[in-house]
């Protein structure tokens, strides 16, 4: 089981926090040793797109850790106040500067090891103008036979691209759910 053990200090009073099982709970939570505040931690959603232009997909080369210099689909942590699709669109604009029309949900991939769920949407690029943001070294389009499979940043990106090209061959896109172990 994934135990992040990230919280060392209380977010309310700043005192030391300890991992304990609260009354009527069944797992350890970061609990303040002074004011008893309980800090719940839950998995995070990572939302992104598969931007498509004709027979090409858009990938971004990461200008940030982790996986600096590796290629990824535009994606990032979902923010409060937005839906998963809105977050995916926002990340596509921020990381690639691409203008896209959002299409259907495509993959839902659990990454239990790091406490994340990755959701990718298909997106149709409206033009080929790109304006990568500071988190991206470069953004460019790849045909299937050009995809740098050995230089992809994350398993969820690799799986999503494989599902995409497989579905495209079939001529029908469906939603794919899976677990990255
Ligand atoms: Zn406290």
| Ligand 1 (single-atom ion) residues, CB below 5 Å | 10, 12-13, 15, 32, 34-35, 37
Q: How far is CA 151 from the centre of its chain?
A: 17
Task: Tell me which residue of 114, 4, 133 sits closest to 63, measured CA to CA.
Answer: 133
Dump pLDDT digits (tens) for 64-116: 999 999 999 999 999 999 999 999 999 999 999 999 999 999 999 999 999 99
Q: How far is the CA of 9 from the centre of ligand 1 (A)?
A: 8
Q: How far is the CA of 8 from the centre of ligand 1 (A)?
A: 11
Specify the pairing of strand 56-62 against strand 136-143: antiparallel
Looking at beta carbons, which pairs linking 63-68 to residues 24 or more positions away fall under 8 Å?
Answer: 63/134, 63/135, 63/136, 63/137, 64/135, 66/153, 67/153, 67/154
pLDDT of 48 > 70? The answer is yes
Q: Tell me, what's the pLDDT at 6?
A: 83
pLDDT of 3 > 80? The answer is no
Q: How far is the CA of 7 from the centre of ligand 1 (A)?
A: 12
Q: How far is the CA of 11 from the centre of ligand 1 (A)?
A: 7
Q: Tell me, what's the pLDDT at 170?
A: 97
Q: How far is the CA of 54 from the centre of ligand 1 (A)?
A: 55
- Phi-psi sector, 167: left (phi>0), alpha (psi -120 to 50), beta: alpha
CA distances from 25 to 16, 20, 90, 117, 124 (A): 21, 10, 37, 24, 45
CA distances from 75 to 25, 31, 92 (A): 34, 32, 7
Give CA–CA dist 77/162, Å, rounded: 22
Give CA–CA dist 176/54, Å, rounded: 22
Tell me if 106 sits within 8 A of 173, measured CB to CB.
yes
pLDDT of 155 > 50? The answer is yes
Give CA–CA dist 107/76, Å, rounded: 15
Q: Tell me, what's the pLDDT at 4?
A: 61
Q: How far is the CA of 38 from the centre of ligand 1 (A)?
A: 8
């Amino acid at each position: 089981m994934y135990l992040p053990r990230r919280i060392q200090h209380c977010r309310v009073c700043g005192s030391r926090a300890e991992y304990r099982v609260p009354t009527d709970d069944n797992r350890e939570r970061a609990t303040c040793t002074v004011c008893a505040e309980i800090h719940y931690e839950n998995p995070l959603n990572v939302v992104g797109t598969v931007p498509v232009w004709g027979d090409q997909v858009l990938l971004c080369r990461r200008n940030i850790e982790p996986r600096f210099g590796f290629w990824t689909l535009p994606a990032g942590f979902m923010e409060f106040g937005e839906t998963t699709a809105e977050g995916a669109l926002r990340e596509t604009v921020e990381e690639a500067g691409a203008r896209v029309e959002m299409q259907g949900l495509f993959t839902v991939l659990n990454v239990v090891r790091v406490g994340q769920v990755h959701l990718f949407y298909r997106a149709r690029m409206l033009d080929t103008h790109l304006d990568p943001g500071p988190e991206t070294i470069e953004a460019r389009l790849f045909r299937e036979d050009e995809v740098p499979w050995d230089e992809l940043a994350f398993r969820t990106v690799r799986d999503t691209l494989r599902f995409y090209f497989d579905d495209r061959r079939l001529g029908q896109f469906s939603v794919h759910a899976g677990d990255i172990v």
